[in-house]
Amino acid sequence: MKKIVLIEDDADLYSLIQYNLEKESFQVAGLQTGKGALELCRREHPDLVILDVMLPEMDGLEICKAIRANTELAATPVIFLTARASETDRIVGLELGANDYIVKPFFVRELIARVKVHFRGDKPVNKILRAGDLELDRTRCVARLGVQELALTATEFKLLEFLMSRPGKVFSREQLLDAVWGHDRAVTDRTVDVYVLRLRQKIERDGSPAFIRSVRGFGYSFNLEVPQEQLQ
């Protein structure tokens, strides 16, 4: 859940924006004065700041400059809200460190859309698969069982990754060959058995297979039962 700091002195507008952001399940913290805005940011470490430029006590531009000057906060995106629409103002705003600039009056939906744009691409698609104490890190190409790192070969890794990312689903040897070995394979389907064996030798603790289940007559599947309780 993303945290947004909102600095806007107009009470109605503040509520309107806050309401809409929260409806989109953003977490909102804010102030209706520029004073203390920097402290708030330092405390909250927001993912985004929405900043009215015209504020009674402290100029929004000043706050933005201060945010940019702070190492901890420098990378935080800032969206300016303003009634000033002149070219110079906009450019000054952008050059001063704003990431976006919205001129009042604006449609709230556009503000929301622009906020979302800033968060797009942030999600690094959970690269880690977990089941029980078995962990598979796709970016680093390593698997761990508890603290112990497992030495999986490329094919073993790909097979486990395929099964783990579709837990419970049963795949025929044929399907597994297509998925892991590729469509242009020239490989016996008994090969799958051997790889399942090798995987089991590495990931199964005691004799009984807890992770990879054989489904007689059909193929294999990653066990949904046992590890599910601990799946994140």
Residues 2-21 that bind DNA (CB under 7 A): none
How far apart CA 203 and CA 209 sit, in angstroms, is 9
User: Does residue 109 bind a second copy (CB under 8 A)?
Assistant: yes
How far apart CA 89 and CA 190 sit, in angstroms, is 70
Residues 173-202 that bind DNA (CB under 7 A): 173, 181, 185-188, 190-191, 193-197, 200
Residue 187 contact among DNA, a second copy, none, beta carbon within 5 to 8 Å by kind = DNA
User: Does residue 162 bind DNA (CB under 7 A)?
Assistant: no
* Among 105, 182, 207, 217, interactor with a second copy by CB under 8 A: 217
How far apart CA 92 and CA 176 sit, in angstroms, is 58
How far apart CA 15 and CA 165 sit, in angstroms, is 42
Annotate each residue in 118-157 with x if it binds DNA (CB under 7 A) or - if it does not, as one string: ---------------------------------x-xxxx-
Q: Closest separation between CB of residue 194 and DNA, Å?
A: 4
DSSP string, 52-107: ES--SSS-HHHHHHHHHHSTTTTT--EEEEES---HHHHHHHHHTT-SEEEESS--
Helix (H, G, I), strand (E, B) or coil at 96: coil
Footprint on this chain of DNA (rule: CB under 7 A): 151, 153-156, 173, 181, 185-188, 190-191, 193-197, 200, 209, 214-219
